[in-house]
Amino acid sequence: VERVPSDHPGKEAASFVASRYPEVFLALKEQTLAHAAQDAAEQVDREFLHRYPAHVASVGAFAFCSRKQTVLVSIGTIHVWIWNGTKWHKPEEIGDYFLPQPEYESGSRTFWGRGELKDNPFYSLRADTAVLSPQTPFFIATDGMDDVLALSEINEMQEETRSSFPGFFKALVEKVLTGKKQRDDITLLMCWKR
């Protein structure tokens, strides 16, 4: 299997997506948020393919928060969980695109980049959107979390902290730093209103 010689192009590509996607999404005047999310993803993908070589990909999740609503956009293998008052759960609008490695050419069915896979209909660029009340707590974690904690364990930790989000998040970060060794980086984002 052909590979990129180092992590550098992937890290640079992830930084590009992290800065460019919000710019494009917020500039679009689409009828629906879902259309804006998908159109922005496609525009950023075209730019991505011109900038990065084959075999480079990126996934991502974004939170656009206003006084009226929170819009979560997810592309690829990023965990997005929302709080329903008693536990964290995945919103039905966010799909599951994880693929076992090395059985598949990619660890995700949907992503930016990977120009060499664009003609394969199994893979796609799909932007999932969930619209929440601005009071709904949410939690985003990259797929490196899979090596450390499952959602059921995360909910157990939340129960132990008696719904204190700051206490829970502190315990979670501690567990990530001292827990099982992960194969991939972990980025966490948690947002709640006081």
Predicted structure pTM score:
0.90
pLDDT for position 7: 65
User: CA 97 to CA 120: how far, in whole Å?
Assistant: 15
Please, which pLDDT band fits residue 4 given cuts at 50, 70 and 90?
Answer: very low
For 117-155, letters b (16+ CB in 10 Å) and e give beeeeebebbbbbbbbeeebbbbbbbbbbbebbebeebb
**95-146 pLDDT, tens digit each:** 999 999 889 988 999 999 999 999 999 999 999 999 999 999 999 998 888 8
Q: Which residues are bridge partners to 141 per DSSP?
A: 79, 188
| Number of residues assigned to the chain | 194
Contacts of 39 (CB under 8 A, 6+ apart): 28, 30
pLDDT for position 97: 95
User: CA 123 to CA 117: how far, in whole Å?
Assistant: 7
Task: Say whether pLDDT at 1 is over 70.
Answer: no
Task: Name the token pair of 25.
Answer: 């999404």
**27-84 pLDDT, tens digit each:** 998 889 999 999 999 999 999 999 998 999 999 999 999 999 999 999 999 999 999 9
User: CA 88 to CA 189: how far, in whole Å?
Assistant: 14
